[in-house]
Amino acid sequence: MFGNIFKKEETVEETPNQWIKCPKCTSLMYYKEVEAKQNVCPKCNHHFRISAEKRIVCIVDEDSFVEYDHTLAPVDPLKFTDKKSYKKRIEEAKAKTGKTSSVMSGACTIGGHEIEIVVFDFSFMGGSLGSVEGEKIVRSITRAIEKECGFIIVSASGGARMQESTYSLLQMSKTSAALNRLHHKGLPFISILTDPTMGGVSASFAMLGDIIMAEPGALIGFAGQRVIKQTVGVDLPEGFQRSEFLLEHGLIDMIVDRREMRETLTGLFKLFKKDKKVVIEEVPEVVSEKSLEEAPEEAPEVVQEELKA
């Protein structure tokens, strides 16, 4: 069903103006020029937000993506209404994006490696995590376990979908539990954080990656800056919720330019692909040969030498 994302066709949301202004360097550029660079600003490297379809084209092997579970649609168990009813909000989001969920999930290959992937689309209700999104993630993980392949989530989300209340919060534990099953099978999960990754998404699966990578300049956090400042009453350091700050402070593992994402993922999955059995057999041998027999004899000598000196 989904081979056609690789062909250049106008999508519903992208009827762009001819010109686009970069929010970071304020340069005015021809839209097609930016689009040709995978929606990265050629002047300042700002990574524009992109749709799930474009994201998939960026990182998976050409024509390899097969979408699953695209018919799943949210229900409104709480009959929730704020300024508008939840039902109405879903209808509007569907009309705007042509989707029924803020994630696309499916199977693909990346650099020839078989991968299950889930990609968030911020344009559908702020990429919020509801019961449909949680279910799609869990089904995708289950397929990865069945196929014994790697798993990726590309997050772009404001957090849990408040209109689903506890049903949306439950998705945090549901997805985390499924990732735990994946972990126990020794299968890799790479979490890719894009602008923005906030709230319940960052507080669950997004931070559970074996490797957590982020795009440059992405906003990543739990609560927003204003809320934190009001709560703790302290001025916060500049850019404290951006990828670069988080890398410096050890919360994420790497920052990867969108244009190098596929290559980086290919390299990582190649490392993970190394026969797991070999690794497990090698470890005990190394321990018994060296550290247990030779080490105790060497250690006192070193100490004596130091004392003489």
Residues of the shown chain interacting with Zn ion in the complex, contacts defined by CB under 5 A: 22, 24-25, 41, 43-44, 46
Q: Between 24 and 262, whose beta carbon lies closer to Zn ion?
A: 24
In the complex, least distance from residue 42 CB atom to Zn ion, rounded to whole angstroms: 8
Q: Between 43 and 276, whose beta carbon lies closer to Zn ion?
A: 43
In the complex, least distance from residue 207 CB atom to Zn ion, rounded to whole angstroms: 28
In the complex, least distance from residue 41 CB atom to Zn ion, rounded to whole angstroms: 3
HEC-encoded secondary structure of 36-57 = HCCCECCCCCCECCCCHHHHHH
In the complex, least distance from residue 196 CB atom to Zn ion, rounded to whole angstroms: 18
Q: Between 131 and 194, whose beta carbon lies closer to Zn ion?
A: 194
Q: Between 133 and 195, whose beta carbon lies closer to Zn ion?
A: 195
Q: Between 216 and 224, whose beta carbon lies closer to Zn ion?
A: 216
Please choose, from the candidates 111, 43, 122, the residue with its C-alpha nearest in 3D space to the C-alpha of residue 265: 111
Q: Between 25 and 254, whose beta carbon lies closer to Zn ion?
A: 25
Burial readout 163-180 (b: 16 or more C-beta within 10 A, e: otherwise): bbeebbbebbebbeebbe
Cα–Cα–Cα angle for 109, 68, 151, nearest 5°?
Answer: 45
CA 142 – CA 31 distance, rounded (Å): 39
Residue 220's SS3 state is strand
In the complex, least distance from residue 46 CB atom to Zn ion, rounded to whole angstroms: 4
In the complex, least distance from residue 40 CB atom to Zn ion, rounded to whole angstroms: 9
> Is 257 exposed, middle or buried (CB count within 10 Å of its CB: 0-12, 13-18, 19+)?
middle
